[in-house]
Amino acid sequence: MIDPMEHYKRNVGPIEHDELDECEIDIENIGWTLGNDCPYRCKHCYSMSARKKGMDFSPEIVDRVIDQVYKNGAKTINLGGNEPLYTNGINPKNSLLPYIIRRLTEKGIDVGLTTSGITLTYLAKYHPEEFMLLNDIDISIDSPYEEEHNENRGANIFPIATKALELCRDHDKDFTIVTCAMSWNFTEDRIRALVDMARKYGSNVRINPFKPIESKHMATKLEPDQYYQGFSLLMSLCDNLDMTEPTLAGITKLKQSKRCPCGRKSFRIHSITPDGKIPVSPCVYLHDYKVGNLVEDELYDIIRSPQFKTFRRRNKHPEYISGCEGCEILSICGGGCAARSYLYNLHQNGGRSLFSRDPYCPKTINPETVFPVNPNMPDDVHLVHQDYLCTWIGRPKNNM
């Protein structure tokens, strides 16, 4: 068993292949875990092991973080990673979320929000101006079936999610239903029902394949065949909007692919720690690579830390990943998702290496399902999760 809190005690993620050069730095899209508390206990939560209750935000800390991301060229910030309303404990009256939204938009940074629904409904009721400032919203739904969603979230929250969908639709906001794809919810019937739900409300669909942050998560991981069958079905039901999921880019031979965006195009600001530090990591899922303290350190230096450089070396030199040498689609997939590769290797083999091959490698799996070849991606869509992490976004077809 791997201790998911070990990253609090020491540097865990190894620094590898420092003899290699790295890909370009083009940081634009950032995720920010705001909260230090949450009323829900989602079984698949990926931020629980990277946040502890304690210190709250202050306006001064918020200003410091925002000034740093602005100085380094951020264009979008998604507020999520926890229920973002709870920046300062469970009482929403203490939240600095409206202040954060205003300050970011004043800097010209487009703001997105990922929520179970409760943050959005609160904003719409008590802070309508800040609600309207949001560029787009992702509403998390684990299952289109109400009882399953509530059971996985540990609360009767499905009605709040649908209320949030209605608010987005009625206020003409860009919005997306986001699902973390796991073995139990990425089935044909649930995928079809999810797309139908998105079509009903006028929403996009975004799928994050589950990343096993903790050892116990391996019990609900997607099997490779299920992964490809599910996405093949989704691409038959939806028009593609974004495909930064590297193995999907590989199997579709996507010419626009730039491989895994983590540490190259995007990074994650973690929740504030009990002692008042705000660490940063190249990837939202890899807490092992968190580094620095945005309250004191320059973001410019953090982005150029050994932890970030290791991600960019993997992006530039995927031929150093064992089993990827000589593959004809390596220039497209780049060895797959860095987080999934690292975490599967960690939990299955006990090894820590970013230079591991994606367990969903399309050349290894050789799925029989049908995929489009080099699908066209529209250039008139602007969502904060585009080129932010390894994900897939689609829009339900109207003629289905």
170: Cβ–Cβ under 8 A, 6 or more apart, which residues? none
The CA distance from 120 to 146, in Å, is 19
For residues 305-313, average pLDDT: 97
128: Cβ–Cβ under 8 A, 6 or more apart, which residues? none
Residue 48 pLDDT:
57
Structure confidence at residue 49 as a pLDDT band (50, 70, 90): low
E strand or H helix at 245, and its extent? Answer: none
Reading the block at residue 121, the tokens are 């409904």
Q: 86-104 burial, b if ≥16 CB within 10 A, otherwise e?
A: bbbeeebeebbbbbbbebb
For residues 66-88, average pLDDT: 93
The CA distance from 154 to 26, in Å, is 39
Percent of the chain residues past pLDDT 70, beyond the cut: 95
Residue 42 pLDDT:
61
Cross-strand partners of 77: 30, 111
Residue 44 pLDDT:
62
For 6, list phi and psi in degrees, rounded to 5: -60, -30
For residues 145-172, average pLDDT: 95
Number of neighbours of residue 6 by Cβ within 10 angstroms: 13
Residue 379 pLDDT:
87
Residue 50 pLDDT:
53
Residue 398 pLDDT:
85
Reading the block at residue 6, the tokens are 């070990």
For residues 138-142, average pLDDT: 96
Residue 156 pLDDT:
92
The CA distance from 108 to 70, in Å, is 9
Which region among 11-15, 48-52, 92-96 has the lowest average model confidence (pLDDT)?
48-52
Burial (CB < 10 A; 0-12, 13-18, 19+), residue 83, is: buried
Residue 43 pLDDT greater than 70, yes or no: no
Shortest CA distance to 104 belongs to which of 132, 64, 66, 158? 66
Reading the block at residue 79, the tokens are 């507020």
For 268, list phi and psi in degrees, rounded to 5: -125, 130
Structure confidence at residue 51 as a pLDDT band (50, 70, 90): low
Angle between helices 188-201 and 158-170 (to 10 degrees): 40
Structure confidence at residue 203 as a pLDDT band (50, 70, 90): very high
Residue 29 pLDDT:
94
At residue 111's C-alpha, the angle toward residues 105 and 112, to 5°, is 160
Express each pLDDT in 99-118 by its tens digit.
999 999 999 999 999 999 99
Sheet strand arrangement including 136-140: 238-243, 392-396, 204-209, 174-181, 136-140, 110-115, 76-80, 29-33, 266-269, 280-281
The CA distance from 343 to 213, in Å, is 7
DSSP code, position 54 = -
207 neighbors 234 (Cβ within 8 angstroms):
yes
Which one is predicted more confidently, 47 or 329?
329
Residue-range domains of the chain with CATH: 22-316+370-396 (3.20.20.70)
130 Ramachandran zone, left/alpha/beta (phi>0; psi -120 to 50): alpha
Structure confidence at residue 52 as a pLDDT band (50, 70, 90): low
For residues 164-184, average pLDDT: 97
The average confidence (pLDDT) of the chain is 92
